[in-house]
Amino acid sequence: MDWWARYDTEPLTEPDPAVEPGSRIDPVLARSWLLVNGAQQDRFGAASRSRADIVILDIEDAVAPKDKLAARDNVVNWMNDGHSDWVRINGFGTPWWAGDIDALATTSVGGVMLAMVESVDHITETARRLPNVPIVALVETARGLERITEIAATKGTFRLAFGIGDFRRDTGFGDDPLTLAYARSRFTIAAKAAGLPSAIDGPTIGSSARKLTEATAISAEFGMTGKICLSPDQCAAVNEGLSPSQDEISWAREFFVEFEAAGGEIRNGSDLPRIARATKILDLARSYNIVSHQYPNTDHRPPPSDVATHY
């Protein structure tokens, strides 16, 4: 049996419990990015046991100025206890930026989300002082959006993230998806052009499961493969919404079986894009443990660089 058919016959499974609550995923593929108030140390443990792909201890917007130093100490103590979560640090030029970096430089921090990125210098200076620490550039203003192509292409930028709340406050935009379509498109295009993982969308406020599901579907529609979460109970829905669906997995397997049955040769201009899409779906399904890891890795030739590989 060749590998095309193996894709079709490998059973679908429920996600492995051992890799769900309390386990983290490669930040390149991370879907749910859970913000946790750095001033509320009692919440760190629950967050670490959540279904979040990445936990981000927040010492920026969530923390009042008078509490920032205490929140920073909480985070450093947590890291020194053997944890390696991410931290959202204060923006370049604020009174706390340098202190945040100095405090984290000797810890096991997994990465930082840099707030209010508006220029290349914000990334390069942070990367210079935190070498080998991945940086998510949180772009939250019109000024930042105008420079997003350069920010994405800057050495040190790991992923882009959309700070929707501050962006709307800065621009006066509403929250209708059509209003923010241009901005989301800019994030996706800039990330793709720079060779970065797809962008992380901003959070959805409120406890409505339906609203969160709809908002996550919008993120996916705009090619964004991550989403900021504001509470642990949002993570499961975001993970599901940003993972390949059962229908997509079935389509990918059926495509490979049909393609092999037809001789496994390129027949027309649509085959390469469909091969790329189907491969991406199945590789992501395996990475997220939606399907078994027993089927072989793909070893066919990669698609041309101008073929989209996001499913």
CB pairs under 8 A, 24+ apart, for 48-52?
48/22, 48/83, 48/85, 49/21, 49/22, 50/21, 50/22, 50/232, 50/235, 51/20, 51/21, 51/232, 51/235, 51/236, 51/239, 52/24, 52/229, 52/232, 52/235
pLDDT digit string, tens, across residues 149-175 = 999 999 999 999 999 999 999 999 998
Q: How confident is the model at residue 78 (pLDDT cuts 50, 70, 90)?
A: very high
Does the structure show a pLDDT above 70 at 8?
Answer: no
Name the residue among 258, 308, 246, 208 with its Cα closest to residue 15: 246
What distance in Å separates the CA atoms of residue 140 and residue 151, rounded to the nearest whole number? 13
Options 1.10.3720.10, 3.30.1330.200, 3.20.20.60, 3.40.50.300; CATH of 32-241: 3.20.20.60
With tokens 């800039």, the residue in question is: 190
99-148, pLDDT tens digit by residue? Answer: 999 999 999 999 999 999 999 999 999 999 999 999 999 999 999 999 99
CATH 3.20.20.60: which residues of the chain? Answer: 32-241
pLDDT at 98 over 90: yes
Mean pLDDT value across the chain: 88
Task: State yes or no: pLDDT of 302 exceeds 80.
Answer: no
Residue 201 CA: distances (Å) to CA of 101, 269, 300: 25, 32, 32
Residues 297-306, mean pLDDT to the nearest whole number: 37
Average pLDDT over residues 3-14: 41
Give percent of the chain with pLDDT exceeding 90. 78
Q: Is the pLDDT of residue 310 over 80?
A: no
Kindly state the average pLDDT of the residues 300-307. Answer: 35
